Structures are given as structure tokens and as C-alpha cells.
Structure 1
Amino acid sequence: MQCVHNLKCVSVSLLLCRQTVNYRSTTLKSVIRKLPKIYSRGVTSYSKPSFEVNTNVAKDVLLFRHDNPKFFLILHVFSLGQFAFWTYLAHFAFTSLKDIPASEDDSLPWWRKINLGDNKFRIGLTLTCLLIAYGILGASWLFTAKSVKFLVLRKGGQDISLVTYGLFGKSRYTTVSLDKVSCEQSRHSAKVQLPLRIKGHWMYFMLDMRGEFTNPRLFDYTAGLRRKIN
């Protein structure tokens, strides 16, 4: 009887081991079966590599736009007003200040002892006013000339056109090869202005980040790349 009892215990143990092995095998197969789905979900979260972006466009494609003519019109009117004001002050300083010797009374404040009609003060004030006048006018013109209104990728994907603001609503056009364009900052990290460096042009062209990137992916792989420009 003891032998029969031992045989029954061994059979039960073998049955339990077999069920455990079958359960683990089934679990492992289900996990392996799910792996492709998990892997595919992870892969789809990544963007396509750059070689899959077709930059050889069949027609001109608008990449960026920032149409704000009202602001630049106000800027031009302001700069011309400041230019007129400071040039008038320069004319007044040069023609109206008289050479009158200052009093030597020690009780007077220091500024009452300055003879503004003396040549060094008269010419100095005139040049300072002219410098401010032309500085404001030049800065406003330079800011306008370097602000990009439209950025267009030309047909074939080899050239790019920058449409910038001109004086009083007019537009200026610049077309260059893509290999002469370098974006100095990432589109995602730029907060206010995105600088574009163009070979052969002084200073940067600026893209206002309040504008619209109409084709951001194509921009990132054409004009948005940082290139080494000698």
C-alpha cells in the first residue's frame, strides 16, 4: 500500500509540473506575439528620416509668411518724424547758439557757467543731433530690410527666395542657392526672431516667430538647416 501511495504522489507532482511548464510557455508565447505591436508603436512615434523628405518640389512652395505692413508703415513714419526733429535741432544748434562768455560768479551752478555758443559745444551739439537723426533712420531702414515677409522654396528645391519689406509698402526680392543659406538657430528653440545667414549679405535676415511656418517639415530640411558657410 505504501508503494501505491508513493506512486500516486509522484504522478500528482509530475502533473503539476507539466501544468506549470505549459502555463509559462503560453505566457511567453503571448508576450512574444505582442512584441511586434509594441515595437511598431514605438517606431511610429519617431519622425521620418531626412532622406525620406522630398525637397525636389514640382512648383514653388511657401515656407514662411509674416505679413504685417501696418507695423512697418508706423515704423517708417516714426523714423522720418525723428529724423526731421533731430535735424532741426542740429540746424538750431549750429545757427542760433551765440558765443556769449559765461559769468565767472562762483555762486552760480556749474551749468550756468557753460558757454554753449563756443565752437566746441556748438559743433559738438550739432554733430550729436545729426548722429541721432541718421542713426534712428538707418536702424529702422536696416530692420525693415532684414525682416522677412515671405520665404519661398523655388521649383526644383535648389534655390530659395526671400521677400523682405521695403520703404512704404514696397517689397524687395532676394533669390539665393540653398547651399548659401544657414539657419543659425533651431525653429523650436527660437523665441522672438529666427536668424538666417546668407552668404554675400551683411548681417542676418530675421524671421519673426509670430509669423506662420506654412510647411514646417520642408522648412526644417531646406532653409532650416545649419550649414557651414565660408
Structure 2
Amino acid sequence: MLNILSYRSTTNSICKLQIVYRSLIKTAKYRNSVVCRSLNSSSKSAFETKNTRECSKQFVDVININTNVQNNVMLYKNTTSTVFIKLVFFGWGFCNIMLALMTFNPKYISTWFEDLTWTEYLKRNGIALMYFIYSVLAGPLGCVALYIFNHRIIKYIILHKGGKDVSIVINHLFKNVDTITLPLEKVKTTMARDRMKNYLPLKIQGRKFFYLVDGHGKFFNEQLFDYTVGKAKIW
């Protein structure tokens, strides 16, 4: 009889211990989940607060940029020399003129009016005709390409007093500089300044082709440049 009673009391104790253990496990899981949620919410809140502060700071920086300058401000200067392009331009033109004079023959014109096929015409005039045609075509086309490229390289960008007009000083083969002064609304860039690699394309309304801002040049006021000349516009 005593053995039976002791066995029942032991069994009841074990059951009670199991119930207490299970309740403790549930409580611990609940606390852990609460702690995790609180940590996640606090980290998320901190992240959102950080982003909000950064955005607010950038917004304040943009607001604080004063484009109504009191004097003329130089935004960009390119000190890269274009003497090499000028030498190539005049050298290319001179060489092709000399080649055309050396390979020209009056029979090119006289045989043109004869009743000849293209094959017979080329055989009579020989390979010298090919050199003459090359010099006549390649010489002017190469000079035009070099002239356009040199004329599209920007040397200075100056923002005028008041921040409404801008002067773009570009290179020129036959004179020192060429200045274009126009309202700021007529100038735009195709990409952000911090994304350019070698050149920053600059478009002027009403003019064909792009002008080039060399990446090796110096930006004297980067924020002012970004918010005036470097600001993208839709035409």
C-alpha cells in the first residue's frame, strides 16, 4: 500500500514538473520573439532616421546653393593644350595638297570624255588616279573633322552676374578663343558630372553636335556647376 502511494506521489510530481517546464519554454519563446521584434523595429527605425537625416541634409544643401552670384564666377577651366590638334590639322591638309599636286595628270580630264568603260579608264590612268582621288576626298574631310572636334572642346565656363547667363569659351583653329554667351536655360548636360569618365557632353540649344567638357579640366565650384550648367533640362 505504501509503495502504491509513493509511486502516485512521484508520478504527480513529475507531471507538475513537466507542466512548469513547458510553461517556462513558452514564456522564453514569447520573450525572445518580443525582444527580436523590438530589436528589428529599433534597427529599422534607426535606418529610416539615418536615411531621413541624409535626405534632409542633401535637400538643405541644394536650398543653400545661391545661383544669384554677385560677380562673374568661373565654373570650369581646361588647361589642356590643343597645339597637337592644330599641328595635325595643318599637317594633314598640307600633305594631302602635296599628294594631289604630285599625282595630278591632265589626261584624267581628257580621257574622261572618250568613249571608254570604267575598266579601260582606270587602266589608262593607273594607280596615280587612286592617290589623286584619295587626296582630294580624304584631305578636306579629315580637316573638317579635326576642325569640328577642336571647336567643340570647351576651355572655360563662366557664370555671369545674376546667374541668368553663361559664357562658354571654346577652342578655335584660326584664332585664340571663341566665346558663346547665352541664357542658362539653353544649356544642358546629358549626364551627371560625377558619372563622366573622360568627357562630359554639353548640348547648346539651336546648335548641332555636342560640346565636350574634358574630365582633365578643373571644376572651381562643383555644386554651383551641378545646379546651373550641369542641371539636366527638357526642351
Q: TM-score, normalised by structure 2?
A: 0.66
Q: Which has the larger radius of gyration?
A: 2
1:51 & 1:97 partners in 2: Cα distance?
A: 74
The Cα RMSD (Å) is 3.2
Equivalence for 2:99: 89
Q: CA deviation at 1:171?
A: 0.7
Deviation at 1:159, TM superposition (A): 0.7
Task: Select which of 176, 181, 195 maps to 1:170.
Answer: 176
1:81-160 matches, within 5 Å, as 81-95=91-105, 115=123, 117=125, 125-160=131-166
Kindly indicate whether the alpha-carbon contact (under 8 Å) linking 1:166 and 1:172 is maintained by their aligned counterparts in 2. Answer: yes
Deviation at 1:41, TM superposition (A): 9.7
Percent identical pairs in the alignment equals 25
Contact between 1:116 and 1:122, CA under 8 Å: does it hold in 2? no
C-alpha separation in 1, matches of 2:153 and 2:124: 42
Q: Residue 68 of structure 1: which of 76, 80, 86 is its match? A: 80
Mark the CA change 1:40 to 1:134 in structure 2 (over 3 Å): closer, same or farther: same
In structure 1, list runs of 5 or more residues that go unmatched: 1-27, 100-113
Structure 2 gaps of 5+ residues are: 1-37, 110-121
Report how far residue 138 of structure 1 moved: 1.3
* 1:1-230 correspondence to structure 2 within 5 Å: 39=49, 43=53, 46-49=57-60, 50-69=62-81, 72-95=82-105, 115=123, 117=125, 125-167=131-173, 170-229=176-235
User: Whole-Å Cα distance in 1 between the matches of residues 198 and 220 of structure 2?
Assistant: 18
Q: Distance in 2 between matches of 1:116 and 1:206?
A: 48
Contact 2:108 2:129 in 1 (8 A): no
How far does residue 42 in structure 1 lie from its aligned partner after superposition? 6.7
Report the CA distance shift for 1:127/1:163 in structure 2 as closer, same or farther (over 3 A). Answer: same
CA distance, structure 2, for counterparts of residue 41 and residue 206 of structure 1: 35
Q: Write the letter of the residue equivalent to 1:77.
A: L
